[in-house]
Homo-oligomer: A and B are copies of this chain.
Amino acid sequence: MNFSSKLIEEAVNAFATLPGIGRKTALRLVLHLVKQPKENTEGVANALLRMRLGIKTCGICHNISDAEVCSVCLDTRRDRSTVMVVEGIRDVMAIEETGQFRGLYHILGGVISPIEGIGPQNLNIDSLMDRVAQGEIKEIIMAVSPTIEGDTTIYYVSKKLSLHEVKVSTLARGISFGGELEYADEVTLGRSIVQRVPYRMLNDD
């Protein structure tokens, strides 16, 4: 692209470093900012700076947090005996969105993946063991991706947890709500038959 302005070019290059934003999209964003009042650009830039310079990792669950301990871990109304183990921050958001979980979280930071060179030592497993060792936790819910790597991680963590008196559970696997039966893959469909459950009304509380 041929920019008559060095300033525009630098702003386009900056936007284009973000994932999924090419130089054409970046140019569209920059020209949008040019047309808006200066305050809008200052608002965007300052929000990004405040966020990046202020953001911390929760010392307990490794979630991103505005303070040393995140708002979930600080919330005294939550059930401190149940901990949901997830891969990342976005999983916490997705689970919070359901409104079905009132316990605490523990963010692993990924799953064990020998292909990508991620071993147990690269994940927040030791700190999970430390939390369990304190004795308050009664149940660990392994909510990681239903993949080979996820299953490996569940196996590894549950084996380490067997030293402690703690119940380990996983999310139910089966056919998705709203999905069409004929399009479900055979592993999922097969398992959902083997692990069929007695019918009951959805408990909404």
**Contact with A38, one of B1, B21, B52, B71 (Cβ below 8 angstroms):** B52
Q: Mark A28-59, 1 if CB is under 8 A from B, else 0.
A: 11111110001011111111111111110000
Is there an interface contact between A47 and B13, defined as CB atoms closer than 8 Å? yes
Indicate if A60 sits at the interface (CB-CB under 8 A): no
Among residues of B, the one whose C-beta sits closest to the C-beta of A51 is: B11
Is there an interface contact between A2 and B93, defined as CB atoms closer than 8 Å? yes
Q: Count this chain's copies in the assembly.
A: 2
Indicate if A141 sits at the interface (CB-CB under 8 A): no
Is there an interface contact between B7 and A50, defined as CB atoms closer than 8 Å? yes
**Contact with A52, one of B4, B41, B51 (Cβ below 8 angstroms):** B41
**Once bound together, how far apart are the Cα atoms of A196 and B52, in whole Å?**
60
Indicate if A126 sits at the interface (CB-CB under 8 A): no
> Please, which residues of chain B bring their CB within 8 A of the CB of A65?
4-5
**Contact with A4, one of B34, B44, B47, B64 (Cβ below 8 angstroms):** B64
Indicate if A177 sits at the interface (CB-CB under 8 A): no
Is there an interface contact between B42 and A96, defined as CB atoms closer than 8 Å? no
Beta-carbon contacts under 8 Å, A45-93 to B: 45-55, 63-66, 70-72, 89-90, 92-93
Is there an interface contact between B1 and A93, defined as CB atoms closer than 8 Å? yes
Is there an interface contact between B1 and A97, defined as CB atoms closer than 8 Å? yes
Among residues of B, the one whose C-beta sits closest to the C-beta of A46 is: B45
> Please, which residues of chain B bring their CB within 8 A of the CB of A6?
66
**Once bound together, how far apart are the Cα atoms of A50 and B15, in whole Å?**
13
